[in-house]
Chains A and B, each alone.
Chain A
Amino acid sequence: MSNRVLMKGNEAIAEAAVKAGCRHYFGYPITPQTEIAHYLAKRMKDVDGVFLQAESEVAAINMVYGAAGAGARVLTSSSSPGISLKQEGFSYIAGAEIPSVVVNVMRCGPGLGGILPAQGDYFQCVKGGGHGDYKNLVLAASGVQELFSLTMEAFDLADKYRILVVILADGTIGQMMEPVIIPEDTDMKIFDKPWAASGKKGGNVHHTIKSIYIDPVVLEGLNNRLQSKYREIEANEVRVETSALEDAEIVITAFGTCARIAKNVIKEAAREGIKVGLIRPITLWPFPVEIISETARKDSVKAFLDIELNAGQMVEDVRLAVNGKKEVLFHGRTGGMIPSQEEILDIVRRIAGGGF
Chain B
Amino acid sequence: MQNDVSVLSRSRVNIFVGAYGSGKSEVAVNFAITISNTMRESADYVVLADLDVINPFYRSADARAVLLDNGIKLIASQFVNTNVEAPSVPPEVFSVFDKPGVKAVLDIGGEDMGARIVSSLKDRITAVDHELFMVININRPFTRNTDEIVKMIRELESACGISITGLVNNTNLLEMSSYRDIEDSDPIIRNVSRLTGIPYVFSAGMTEYHPDDMSLQLNGEVPFLKMIRTVLYNT
Determine the distance from Cα of A8 to Cα of B188 in the docked complex, in whole angstroms.
23
Q: Which of A149-157, A158-166, A173-181, A288-296 contacts B (4 or more CB under 8 A)?
A: A173-181
Contact with B along A1-34 (1 / 0, CB 8 A): 1101111100100010000000000000001100
Q: Contact at A115–B141, with CB atoms within 8 Å?
A: no
Q: Which of A1, A39, A172 contacts B184 (CB 8 A)?
A: A1
Determine the distance from Cα of A6 to Cα of B22 in the docked complex, in whole angstroms.
9
Q: Contact at B141–A15, with CB atoms within 8 Å?
A: yes
Which chain B residues numbered 175 to 190 have a C-beta less than 8 Å away from chain A? 176, 181, 184-185, 188
| CB of A254 to closest CB in B, whole Å | 12
- Whether A97 sits at the interface, judged by CB under 8 Å, is no
Determine the distance from Cα of A177 to Cα of B137 in the docked complex, in whole angstroms.
13
Question: Which of chain B's residues have a CB closer than 8 A to the CB of A1?
Answer: 138, 144, 184-185, 188
Question: Which of chain B's residues have a CB closer than 8 A to the CB of A31?
Answer: 56-57, 85
| CB of A39 to closest CB in B, whole Å | 7
Contact with B along A160-200 (1 / 0, CB 8 A): 00000000000110011111000000000000000000000
Question: Which of chain A's residues have a CB closer than 8 A to the CB of B174?
Answer: 6, 177-179
A115-B235 contact in complex given A2-B184, A42-B142, A177-B21, C-beta closer than 8 Å: no
- Whether A80 sits at the interface, judged by CB under 8 Å, is no
Which chain B residues numbered 140 to 197 have a C-beta less than 8 Å away from chain A? 140-142, 144, 172-174, 176, 181, 184-185, 188
A4-B142 contact in complex given A35-B20, A176-B233, C-beta closer than 8 Å: no
Name which of A15, A179, A336 has the most chain B CB atoms within 10 A of its CB. Answer: A179
Question: Which of chain B's residues have a CB closer than 8 A to the CB of A39?
Answer: 141
Determine the distance from Cα of A338 to Cα of B85 in the docked complex, in whole angstroms.
19
| CB of B138 to closest CB in A, whole Å | 7
Determine the distance from Cα of A32 to Cα of B57 in the docked complex, in whole angstroms.
8
A175-B172 contact in complex given A114-B83, A115-B85, C-beta closer than 8 Å: no
Determine the distance from Cα of A191 to Cα of B139 in the docked complex, in whole angstroms.
34
- Whether A68 sits at the interface, judged by CB under 8 Å, is no
Q: Contact at A115–B56, with CB atoms within 8 Å?
A: yes
Determine the distance from Cα of A42 to Cα of B113 in the docked complex, in whole angstroms.
13
- Whether B45 sits at the interface, judged by CB under 8 Å, is no
- Whether A52 sits at the interface, judged by CB under 8 Å, is no
Contact with B along A62-80 (1 / 0, CB 8 A): 0000000000000000000
Q: Which of A7, A179, A336 contacts B141 (CB 8 A)?
A: A7
Name which of B83, B174, B188 has the most chain A CB atoms within 10 A of its CB. Answer: B83
Count of inter-chain pairs, beta carbons less than 8 A: 67
| CB of B17 to closest CB in A, whole Å | 16
- Which residue of chain B lies nearest to A112 when distances are taken between CB atoms in the complex? B85
- Whether B97 sits at the interface, judged by CB under 8 Å, is no
Number of interface residues of A (CB under 8 A): 30
A11-B141 contact in complex given A115-B56, A176-B234, A177-B233, C-beta closer than 8 Å: yes
Question: Which of chain B's residues have a CB closer than 8 A to the CB of A179?
Answer: 139, 173-174, 176
A177-B142 contact in complex given A2-B181, A6-B137, A31-B56, C-beta closer than 8 Å: no
Question: Which of chain B's residues have a CB closer than 8 A to the CB of A260?
Answer: 235
Determine the distance from Cα of A336 to Cα of B137 in the docked complex, in whole angstroms.
30
Contact with B along A257-301 (1 / 0, CB 8 A): 100110000000000000000000000000000000000000000
Determine the distance from Cα of A114 to Cα of B138 in the docked complex, in whole angstroms.
33
Q: Contact at A5–B144, with CB atoms within 8 Å?
A: yes
Question: Which of chain B's residues have a CB closer than 8 A to the CB of A336?
Answer: 83
- Whether A96 sits at the interface, judged by CB under 8 Å, is no
Question: Which of chain B's residues have a CB closer than 8 A to the CB of A172?
Answer: 234-235
Name which of A7, A8, A172, A338 has the most chain B CB atoms within 10 A of its CB. Answer: A8
Question: Which of chain B's residues have a CB closer than 8 A to the CB of A85?
Answer: none
A178-B85 contact in complex given A1-B184, A4-B173, A6-B172, C-beta closer than 8 Å: no
Determine the distance from Cα of A172 to Cα of B137 in the docked complex, in whole angstroms.
22
Question: Which of chain B's residues have a CB closer than 8 A to the CB of A177?
Answer: 21, 174, 233-234
Determine the distance from Cα of A16 to Cα of B174 in the docked complex, in whole angstroms.
21
Name which of A2, A172, A178 has the most chain B CB atoms within 10 A of its CB. Answer: A2
- Whether A58 sits at the interface, judged by CB under 8 Å, is no
- Which residue of chain B lies nearest to A1 when distances are taken between CB atoms in the complex? B184
A178-B234 contact in complex given A115-B83, A336-B83, C-beta closer than 8 Å: yes
| New A-B pairs, 13, CB < 8 Å, besides A8-B21, A115-B57 | A1-B184, A5-B144, A6-B137, A6-B139, A6-B173, A6-B174, A7-B140, A8-B20, A31-B57, A115-B56, A115-B83, A176-B235, A177-B234
A residues in contact (CB < 8 Å) with B: 1-2, 4-8, 11, 15, 31-32, 35, 38-39, 42, 114-116, 171-172, 175-179, 257, 260-261, 336, 338
Question: 7 A–B contact pairs at CB < 8 A?
Answer: A32-B57, A42-B142, A114-B85, A172-B234, A176-B235, A179-B139, A338-B235
Nearest 9 CB-CB pairings of A with B: A6-B139, A114-B83, A176-B234, A179-B173, A115-B85, A175-B57, A179-B176, A6-B140, A1-B184
